[in-house]
Chains A and B, each alone.
Chain A
Amino acid sequence: AQSVTQLGSHVSVSEGALVLLRCNYSSSVPPYLFWYVQYPNQGLQLLLKYTSAATLVKGINGFEAEFKKSETSFHLTKPSAHMRDAAEYFCAVSDSDFGNEKLTFGTGTRLTIIP
């Protein structure tokens, strides 16, 4: 069985500060890992995904994440937070990067940006 754990249900950072959202995974097979963003009353938008090609993955909106097998982590970062980054962020794991495989989501982290 696969699972992801997101540490911190709420994270607040000042505008312009570093954003760090934590995600640890558990998987018996090589995992495929994803970060999604959800704005209020909207569906999920893919930020980035790890598919074993490179451990540092760059996504949209200036976000990136690094896969660390030794730490079973896939933390999401952004060097400088912007007000528009305020949203809910979900880490997810799958045993495939084919779209027809089911995703298992973490509980989410709500990011608040302080002006």
Chain B
Amino acid sequence: GAVVSQHPSRVICKSGTSVKIECRSLDFQATTMFWYRQFPKQSLMLMATSNEGSKATYEQGVEKDKFLINHASLTLSTLTVTSAHPEDSSFYICSASRDYMYQETQYFGPGTRLLVL
């Protein structure tokens, strides 16, 4: 149980275009989802936290207008990288947690590798 999927797994796009990444909790309802970004050989950096039905909370230094996050349902959150540039190329990982009453950690998706040309 507690499987999180991401789609697509890899995406290549041209500079200036927008890319949408989906994060789904397959067998549980995720009240909270997190979006991380990981540069090569570096750690995961939290970008934002999203709760179903409310606006995402962005970490300091993350542009909310560039990285649009939508958590419209209890099983789906999307990250849209708007007007992507080569420096946005990275590995984007989402995680999801169930209702706060469950004392457990986050479940991570397999990640999406974005390459902006």
Interface residues of chain A, those whose CB is within 8 Å of chain B, are 9, 34, 36, 41-46, 49, 51, 90, 94, 97-100, 102-108, 110
Interface residues as binary, B42-74 with A (CB distance below 8 Å gives 1, 0 otherwise): 111110010100000000000000000000000
Per DSSP, are chain A's interface residues mostly helix, strand or loop, or mixed? loop
Q: Write the nearest CB–CB distance from A86 to chain B, whole angstroms.
A: 15
Which one of B32, B42, B43 contacts A100 once the chains associate, using CB atoms below 8 Å? B32
Asked if A99 and B108 make an inter-chain contact with CB atoms under 8 angstroms apart, the answer reads no
In B26-44, which residues have CB < 8 Å from any A CB? 31-32, 34, 41-44
Please indicate the chain A residues that have their CB under 8 angstroms from the CB of B34 in the complex.
102-103
Interface contacts beyond A97-B105, A98-B100, A107-B43: sample of 13 additional A-B pairs, CB < 8 Å, sorted by A: A9-B41, A41-B111, A42-B111, A43-B110, A43-B111, A44-B44, A90-B43, A98-B102, A100-B31, A102-B34, A102-B46, A103-B34, A105-B45
CB-CB nearest 6 A-B residue pairs: A99-B97, A43-B108, A100-B32, A44-B108, A43-B110, A105-B43
